[in-house]
Amino acid sequence: MSHPDEQPYAVPVPAGYRLGPWAVGTPLGAGGFGSVYTARREDDGQPADAALKFLPTGTQTPRRLRHLRELAEREIDLLSRVRAPRLIRLHEVRTVDDPSRPELDGATVLVLDRAESSLQDLLNGSPRPGRGPELLVEICEGLHQLHRAGWLHGDLKPANVLLMDDGSARLADFNLAAELEGTHAYSPMFSTPDYTPPETIWGDVAERGQRIRPTTDIWAFGVLAHLVLTGTLPLPGATPAARRDATVRYARGTEPLRLSPELPPDWRQIITDCLAPTHQERAPHDAASLLPRVRAAAEGAAAPRAPRAARPLRRALIALACAGALAAAGLGLHAASSKHPATTGSSPRSAPVALVGYDRCLKGNVCFFTEPDGNGRMCSWEGDETDWLGGASRCSWADQQVPRSVFNNGIGPEAGEPRVSLVYYAGEKLQDRIDCLPRDTRQNIDLARSPRSHVWTEHC
């Protein structure tokens, strides 16, 4: 039924084998599309120690492993173009030229930073490491550095987080990484089940593979954070298949997300946002916006609600709840992100029918609706947004529909927020002012076209 190889990707390399200046040492691991060995440099160059990753791309490689060449190229492409403190560093790429060893000849060898161990090793020894929060900050930094460079990891999990000799974490194993083309990339159709977001489980496939987006990594970060902090995976089940089914049931709205009760509240909110069930609901929580929250949570300080003025314009969060469409699809009613569910005290997902009309607008947000009286589809923001169609927090319907009602449900000076009024504009970048809305105002509006930007201000 299947190819009977024991270790299809293993490349046996004898100890002491010479590759340029490198003398191969002991095996660090096999699988994951290749074999990794320690190596020591026998000249005076730097670094003195490294990890050599052998990928079986040689001429003797059976054609059935042809896809490895592509996976190797992905990793080399990324590592040679993106250098960042939290990503494992590629020092050089070599090709084995050794006709006397046909099993090695032609293999691609990546000379990488030598790590002490992996996060997986650490978790095997102590399921809830004391340094967990600190490591999560470093992992989030790595994700941020990667995403900012325009790449996705595609396979974030504990085995792919390496721990250096100073204990710090770096992301590694970029075989499945993909460069973003606009908003998405194509994955090479491998994935790690427990870290796969619902939309790519049995999702449609194009000829070039499955489309993945940065939110794929964000989901994996949420799973990883839950595992590191509690010792358990967030979705329940004894087998990967059972956990996959639990993920599907959660995404379809038939089961709520039940995170471990041990999670501190600020971590709980971060993980809940990372594990939002759809790409759209996860999208506002990019690595850039998560990083300060993860840092604050790791420092143990309840993440302070900084006044709006203290944060940059793009702090905007949350959008895209389209109650009608989702309810029709059997998904219940998603009000919006539950980042600050102060209005009702309950998460919209656990109270699927409780919120209607203006009540869907969470405390702290301004909400625009496609129908009068707070009905229809809703877009909401906590912060400023200078481009509703192309900014950090988009409104999915604003290019086709015109809002018919609006609710300024912002917080005020008592919560440390001086900017309480909302000015909205017909043009992007705060051009062509339409109106200013005082705090706690809900009203129907009659506009010729949808606004394109808004900003919070102290007075109307």
- What residue ranges bind another protein (CB under 8 A)? 1-8, 31-32, 62-67, 120, 155, 157-159, 176, 188-195, 198, 201-205, 207-210, 233, 239-245, 248-249, 251-252, 254
CB of residue 212 vs another protein: minimum separation in angstroms?
Answer: 11
Q: Both tokens of residue 322?
A: 């389209």
Rounded to 5°, angle at Cα 212 from 269 and 312: 50
Q: Which is nearer to another protein, 8 or 106 (CB)?
A: 8
H or E stretch including 454? strand 453-457
Bridge partners of 89? none
Beta strands in 307-381 (DSSP E): 365-369, 378-381
Minimum gap (Å) between residue 9 Cβ and another protein: 8
Query: 172 near 162, Cβ under 8 Å?
Result: yes
How far apart are alpha carbons 24 and 10 in whole angstroms? Answer: 15
The nearer residue to another protein, 242 or 325, going by C-beta atoms, is 242
Minimum Å distance from CB 42 to another protein? 33
Which residue is it, tokens 């974490």? 169
Whether residue 47 is preceded by a cis peptide bond, meaning omega within 30 degrees of 0, is yes
d(CA 429, CA 318): 19
Pick 18 or 64: Cβ nearer another protein:
64
Q: What is the DSSP letter of 81?
A: H
Q: Which residues lie below 8 Å from residue 202, measured CB to CB, with a gap of 6+?
A: none
Query: What minimum distance in Å lies between the beta carbon of 397 and another protein?
Result: 24
d(CA 70, CA 66): 8
Is the Cβ of residue 31 or residue 418 nearer to another protein in the bound state? 31
Closer to another protein by Cβ: residue 185 or 455: 185
Q: Smallest distance from the beta carbon of 174 to another protein, in angstroms?
A: 12
Instruction: State the maximum Cα–Cα separation within the chain, in Å, rounded to a whole number.
Output: 81
Q: What is the closest distance, in whole angstroms, from the C-beta atom of residue 57 to another protein in the complex? A: 14
25 vs 158 by CB, closer to another protein: 158
Nearer to another protein, 83 or 128 (CB): 128
Q: How far apart are CA 382 and CA 270, in angstroms?
A: 16
Which CB sits closer to another protein, 127 or 240? 240
Q: How far is the CB of 159 from another protein (least distance, A)?
A: 7
In whole angstroms, the minimum distance from the beta carbon of 240 to another protein comes to 4
Q: Using CA atoms, how far apart are residues 456 and 96, in angstroms rounded to an integer?
A: 61
CA 34/CA 226 separation, integer angstroms? 29
